[in-house]
Amino acid sequence: MPEFEKLVVGLGNPGAEYEHTAHNLGFMVVDRLADRHGIRIGRKDCLAFVGQGTVAGKKVLLAKPQTFMNLSGESVQGLLVKNEIAAGDLVLVYDELDLPWQSVRIRPNGSAAGHRGVGSIIHCVGTKEFPRVRLGIHGGRREKDGAQIVLAKLKRAHRQELDELLDYASEAVESIIAEGVEKSMAKYNRRAQGLNEEE
């Protein structure tokens, strides 16, 4: 029997220069989850920093791939295979350029929608049938190139709202682990400004 029931992966880029960028929200959520459950993320395994512990009564492996974002698939595939975790038991957390800041969307599966990190994972794992938690960072019209937006440091106003967002997204992941994707979508999918609305 596999040791872990879920693999929770947050996407980001390694290195101090990326630390406070929107593209690293996935890392931040995994760190917040680790804090909430007393899990230490420090061991290096399959090109990722990992930590193990219990979330919602289930044995969970938390991971932050240390390849660059666009190559995350290699690390995720390695972790799934090594730990005998099915792709459907992966929960992927990442930033989404096309959703407004502070919105959270859980989906049971789907395409990469232009997100190269997600594209890399779908390619390496060989399926798009895994749940994901998408965190809005922009939405609306873009004056700038997408890469400039995702790699810019978070604005001060955003940083003030970040704490609440990380807690909310962590709760959404906990809910997926505890109750499954469908119930969690009904509970946690929300638009910006804290409105609890479904898509």
Is residue 124 within 8 A of residue 76, CB to CB? The reply is: yes
Is residue 20 within 8 A of residue 162, CB to CB? The reply is: no
Task: Reduce the DSSP state of residue 3 to 3 states and report it.
Answer: coil
- Catalytic residue status for 20: no
For residue 26, which of 110, 141, 121 has the smallest C-alpha distance?
A: 121
Q: Map 18-33 to HEC letters.
A: HCCEHHHHHHHHHHHH
Q: Both tokens of residue 58?
A: 């289930």
Is residue 81 within 8 A of residue 164, CB to CB? The reply is: no
Q: Which of 20, 23, 115, 158 is catalytic?
A: 23
Ranges of beta strands (E only) in 11-130 are 43-45, 48-55, 58-65, 90-100, 104-107
Radius of gyration of the chain (CA): 15
Bridge partner residues of 50 (DSSP)? 43, 63
Q: Which residues are catalytic?
A: 23
